[in-house]
A and B are shown apart, each in its own frame.
Chain A
Amino acid sequence: MLAKRIIPCLDVTAGRVVKGVHFVELRDAGDPVEIACRYDEQGADELTFLDITASSDDRGILFRIIEQVAEQIFIPLTVGGGVRQVEDVRNLLNAGADKVSINTSAVLNPQLVADAAGRYGSQCIVVAIDAKQIQPGRWEVFTHGGRRATGFGVVEWATKMQALGAGEILLTSMDRDGSKIGYDLQLVRAVTDALEIPLIASGGAGTLQHLVDGVQLGGADAVLAASIFHYGEYTIQQAKRYMAQQGIEMRL
C-alpha cells in the first residue's frame, strides 16, 4: 500500500538553510545542497525548499541550488516562496523543481492557481496555507509570512484551492511553527477530512511521536518537519523506523 511521506523542509535565505521560531529568530542550519543530499541518503520521501526572503538577489542563488540538487537527487522536489505568476512556476520547474508551492499569491490572485495547474498540471501545484487559530475550532488564513490576516476560514480556503486545481495542500500552523509541541491535530483533521487531495501537515513537530500523531490522529498524508532533522536530533531513517513500528506504512 501507499506509504505516508516524510518531507524535510529547507527554509533558504541568502543561500543558506535557516530555521526560525514562529517565523522569526532565524538560526543557520547549513548548506542547502549538502543538507539535501544527506536527507536523500537517509530516505527522505520528498524535499521542500522555501525561499523565505524571495528577494530578487536571492532568486539567482535559489535557482543554482535547485539545479545542483536536481542533478544529484532523484526524489520529488518542491520549491516555494515568492511565486507570483505563471512565469515563476515555469522558471522553477525548468530549474529542476517537480512541484511549486504557492502561498500569498494564491490569496492575492486565486486565478494563478487555476492558470498554473491548467498549464503544468495539478500534480505540480501545491498550495501552502498558513493557518492561525482565531477561536476554538476555527482557523484563519494568514499571508506574508504570517503577518497579514485574510479573513478566510482555512477549511473553506483549502477546498476552494482544490477546486481551482491544487494537487496538494501544505498546511502550516503558525501557532505551532518552530514550537516543537506537536502539530495542531484538530486543524489537520478538520482540513484533511474536507479534502480529496493529499494534505501535508506542518508546524510544530518536535518529537518522533508528533510525526506519528500527525498521521494517525490528524489524518495527514505526509508530514513536514525542519528543526528536528536540521540539528541532528533525529535522522530521517530513525523517524521512519519509529513511525513504521507504530503501525504506519512507510518506505524503509
Chain B
Amino acid sequence: MVDIAIIDYGMGNLRSVHQALRTVAPTASIMVTDDPQEILQAARVVFPGQGAMPDCIRELEMRGLRAAVLHAARTKPFLGICIGLQMLFEHSEEGDIPGLSILPGRVVRFASNLCDAQNNKLKVPHMGWNEVHHANHPLWEGIDQNARFYFVHSYYVCPQDAQFVQATSCYPQPFICAVARDNLFAVQFHPEKSQGAGLMLLKNFVNWIPV
C-alpha cells in the first residue's frame, strides 16, 4: 500500500508535487498514479490540476478516475491543488461545465477590467506571490498569518457554504483560496512552488489525522 497517491490524469507536470512531498516525507512511499485501485488503497491522496478545467474533467473521465476521486475525497486525507480545488465544486464558468459536485458552489473568472489602488491594470491570470489570510486548521500550523504563496489561475471558487472557507487572498477583492471539510482540504495556490510556507503546509498534510 502506498502512503500517498498523487492522482495523474495526464494533465501537466506532477514532478514538482512529487518532489516537494518527497522532501517533507522522505520515508513515505509516494506514487504518481492513474490506477483507481491504487488510489482506493492509498492512505492519503493528492489531487493536483493544471491547465483548463474542461480538459481536466474530460481526462479524468477518460481514465475512469471519477469514482476513485469521489471515494478518496470522502474517506481519507485528501489535498486538492489549483484545478484540483476547482473540480470539487458543482459548476465552472470555464467552459460552462459541471464539476465533481463534492462541495456546493461554483467557479468563476476574475473580471477582466480589474485595477489596483494606483489604477494600474491587474492582469489575469493572477500570477505570483500573494498573501493568504487563513483560519484555524491543522494544515496551517506553523504558517504565519498573511504568509505568501505562489498562485497562477484565472478562475476562483465561490463555495455556497461559508463554513468550509479556510483562507482568503485579495486581487483586489477578497477571494477564497482554501476550503476544508472533514478529511478534505484544498487550495488554489501551489504549495509545491511556495518555498518554506508551501513545504510546511505539505508537511502538515502528510501528518494530518482528520478527526
* Closest-CB distance, B124 to chain A (whole angstroms): 6
Are the C-beta atoms of A76 and B15 separated by less than 8 Å? no
* Closest-CB distance, A75 to chain B (whole angstroms): 6
* Given contact pairs A1-B170, A96-B16, A193-B121, a sample of 4 additional A-B residue pairs in the complex whose CB atoms are under 8 Å apart: A98-B193, A120-B12, A196-B124, A221-B127
Are the C-beta atoms of B50 and A197 separated by less than 8 Å? no
Question: Considering the complex of A and B, which 3 residue pairs feature the smallest CB-CB distances, nearest first?
Answer: A121-B51, A93-B13, A251-B129
A74 to B193, CA, bound (A): 5
Chain B stretch 21-47: residues in CB contact (< 8 A) with chain A? 23
Residue-wise, chain A 90-121 has the 8 Å CB interface mask toward B (1 for contact) of 00011011100000000000000000000011
Chain A stretch 202-229: residues in CB contact (< 8 A) with chain B? 219, 221-222
* Closest-CB distance, B107 to chain A (whole angstroms): 16
Are the C-beta atoms of A167 and B126 separated by less than 8 Å? no
Are the C-beta atoms of B148 and A167 separated by less than 8 Å? no
* Closest-CB distance, B188 to chain A (whole angstroms): 13
Are the C-beta atoms of B50 and A120 separated by less than 8 Å? yes
Are the C-beta atoms of B124 and A197 separated by less than 8 Å? yes
Interface: B128 (CB within 8 A) = yes
Interface: A195 (CB within 8 A) = yes
Residue-wise, chain A 1-21 has the 8 Å CB interface mask toward B (1 for contact) of 111110000000000000000
Interface: A51 (CB within 8 A) = no
* Closest-CB distance, A196 to chain B (whole angstroms): 6
The stretch of B66-74, B85-93, B178-186, B194-202 in contact with A is B194-202
Interface: B8 (CB within 8 A) = no
Set of chain A residues within 8 Å of B116, measured between Cβ atoms: 1
Determine the interface band of chain A, counting residues with CB < 8 A from chain B: 35 or more
Identity of the chain A residue whose Cβ is nearest the Cβ of B131 in the assembled complex: A1
Interface: B19 (CB within 8 A) = yes
A70 to B20, CA, bound (A): 9
* Closest-CB distance, B99 to chain A (whole angstroms): 17
A70-B19, A251-B148 as given contacts; A2 in contact with B126, CB under 8 Å? yes
14 A-B pairs with C-beta separation under 8 A: A70-B15, A70-B16, A74-B19, A74-B198, A74-B199, A76-B150, A76-B193, A120-B50, A121-B51, A122-B51, A123-B152, A196-B112, A251-B129, A251-B148
Set of chain A residues within 8 Å of B192, measured between Cβ atoms: 74
Are the C-beta atoms of B19 and A2 separated by less than 8 Å? no
Are the C-beta atoms of A94 and B13 separated by less than 8 Å? yes
Interface: A83 (CB within 8 A) = no
A61 to B148, CA, bound (A): 33
Set of chain A residues within 8 Å of B50, measured between Cβ atoms: 120-121, 123-124
Set of chain B residues within 8 Å of A168, measured between Cβ atoms: 127
Residue-wise, chain A 39-74 has the 8 Å CB interface mask toward B (1 for contact) of 010000100000000000000000000000011001
Residue-wise, chain B 127-161 has the 8 Å CB interface mask toward A (1 for contact) of 11111000000000000000010111100000000
A93-B13, A121-B11 as given contacts; A3 in contact with B128, CB under 8 Å? yes
A93 to B148, CA, bound (A): 24
Identity of the chain B residue whose Cβ is nearest the Cβ of A249 in the assembled complex: B116
Are the C-beta atoms of A195 and B123 separated by less than 8 Å? yes
Interface: A30 (CB within 8 A) = no
Identity of the chain A residue whose Cβ is nearest the Cβ of B11 in the assembled complex: A121
* Closest-CB distance, B51 to chain A (whole angstroms): 3
Are the C-beta atoms of B12 and A121 separated by less than 8 Å? yes
Residue A74 contacts which of B11, B120, B153, B195 (CB distance < 8 angstroms)? Answer: B195
Are the C-beta atoms of B195 and A40 separated by less than 8 Å? yes
Interface: A198 (CB within 8 A) = yes
Interface: B125 (CB within 8 A) = yes
Set of chain B residues within 8 Å of A123, measured between Cβ atoms: 50-51, 125, 127, 152-153
A225 to B152, CA, bound (A): 22
* Closest-CB distance, B202 to chain A (whole angstroms): 9
Set of chain A residues within 8 Å of B153, measured between Cβ atoms: 123
A195 to B127, CA, bound (A): 14
Set of chain A residues within 8 Å of B152, measured between Cβ atoms: 123, 167
Residue-wise, chain B 66-106 has the 8 Å CB interface mask toward A (1 for contact) of 00000000000000000000000000000000000000000
